[in-house]
Each structure stands twice: as C-alpha cells, then as structure tokens.
Amino acid sequence: MSDYRIEEVTEEQLAREREVQGGLAATTRELIDAVLRSTVPDDEMIEIRKELAAITERLRASQIPSSHGVTINPEGGTSRNYGNAVVGMRNPIAPPLDITWHEDGLVTTDFHLGAAYEGPPGLVHGGVSALLLDQVAGEAAAAGHKAGMTGTLSLRYERPTPLGELHAEAKVDRVEGIKTIVVGHISDSEGPTVRCEGIFIMPRWARENGEGKPSIFE
C-alpha cells in the first residue's frame, strides 16, 4: 500500500472519510492526551489498558498491510496523505496541521500543541518544531510548483516555544536549478521562536533529465 496511487474518489466518499476515519483519529488524539496526563488509580489504568487492547484487536480485524502512502485523485488533483505524521487526517500522532496555500506562495498554519509535544518543561520539544517546519517548508516548495524531497533543513532556535497556540509559515526564497530554497518560522503571540531554511530537491524520477547525482550536498 505504500506508494503514490491514482485513485478516483467522490466528494461524498471524502466527506464520509473525514467524518468517520477523521473522527476516530480526532478522538484518539484526545485519548493520547488523557493517557499521558491521567492520575487515576493503578487498578483503573490496568483495566483501561485491557479494554484498549481489545479495541485494538477489533480494529485490526481488517487493515491495510503496511502504511498509507499517498493517494492522488485524478479529479481536481487533490491528494490524500492520511498517514502523514504531520498533516495526516487519520494519523493520531499528527496534531494535525491544516496548512493553507495562499496565492502569493506563502503557506501558513495555526495550531495548538498540548502535553504530548513537550520537550523541556512547558515547552515544545525542539525536535517537534523541526518536524512541523519540515512539513510546512516542504509544502511551500510544492506550492511554488517545486515539490521535492528535503535535501537539507537548518533550524535556528531563537527562544523557547511554549506549548499552546502557535503559528507557522514558510515561502520559497529562491530557486537554483533543481534546488528550491524555502524559509519559514514558528511563532507564538510574541513573534518568531524558531526559524528554518530548507533546500528541497526534485526527486530524480520526477525530473525530465535523469542524469547525474543531485549536487545539493557540495
């Protein structure tokens, strides 16, 4: 299942998936937060663990063999990356980010990070900021019609990022051959906390000219 697949999906089916599969993932995100923060007695935790194991078995009665991959809808070119660790609607680990592509090439997202994304006390894990910025920067590259794989990503932590309501944005800074250089940042209510620069490269299979090794690491 792990592949780019072309699959025609109706608007009705998409809406149903959002409601049922997306709803199940959303509730699981709440459960993750509760599992992490709960202080109920040990006996209750042990009992709940048994119940969750039984539910897991019921869900596994029918499942995809490995991971979701990405499905591209020929109608309108929308894609479904339901399993994506940052934006995947079906992925309980994803916050998930809802990223808006603006006409001028800027991509933006507003989101909330709770206890599950903690590193230092009360603060967003530095690696979580990197995780989210990789996705946001990658989408900025794609919005500039320069979709690609991450070549390099550099992060500069200017000050701590508090858990809570946050914003991220990115845009293409410049294009150099097969390299698209994107800049972005995460900010809280007082301004940017982490800045990034990413170099995205067109995968070999997506380029007309398949010759040579991408020279992004020189």
Contact with its own copies (CB under 8 A) among 151, 172, 193, 202? 151
Q: Which residue has the tokens 């599950």?
A: 116
Contact with its own copies (CB under 8 A) among 36, 98, 145, 206? 36
Interface with its own copies in residues 86-145 (CB under 8 A): 86, 88, 90-93, 114-122, 125-128, 130-135, 138
Shortest approach of its own copies to residue 94 CB, angstroms? 8
Shortest approach of its own copies to residue 103 CB, angstroms? 26
Contact with its own copies (CB under 8 A) among 102, 152, 191, 206? 152
> How many residues bind to its own copies according to rule CB under 8 A?
87
Contact with its own copies (CB under 8 A) among 14, 15, 52, 206? 52
Per CB under 8 A, 45 contacts its own copies: yes
Interface with its own copies in residues 170-209 (CB under 8 A): none
Per CB under 8 A, 48 contacts its own copies: yes
Q: Is residue 164 left, alpha or beta, with left meaning phi > 0 and alpha meaning psi from -120 to 50?
A: left
Question: Does an H or E element contain 174, and which?
Answer: strand 164-176
Question: Does an H or E element contain 193, and which?
Answer: strand 191-201
Residue 5 pairs in a beta bridge with 71
Residue 196, token pair as written in the block: 């990034």
Residue 111, token pair as written in the block: 């989101």
Contact with its own copies (CB under 8 A) among 10, 13, 15, 31? 31
Alpha carbon 31 to its chain centroid, in Å, reads 19
Whole-angstrom Cα distance, residue 120 to residue 180? 33
Tell me which amino acid residue 9 is: V
CA torsion through residues 70, 72, 73, 78, sign: positive
User: Measured from the CB atom, is 149 or 183 closer to its own copies?
Assistant: 149
Q: Which stretch binds its own copies (CB under 8 A): 6-14, 68-76, 103-111, 167-175?
A: 68-76
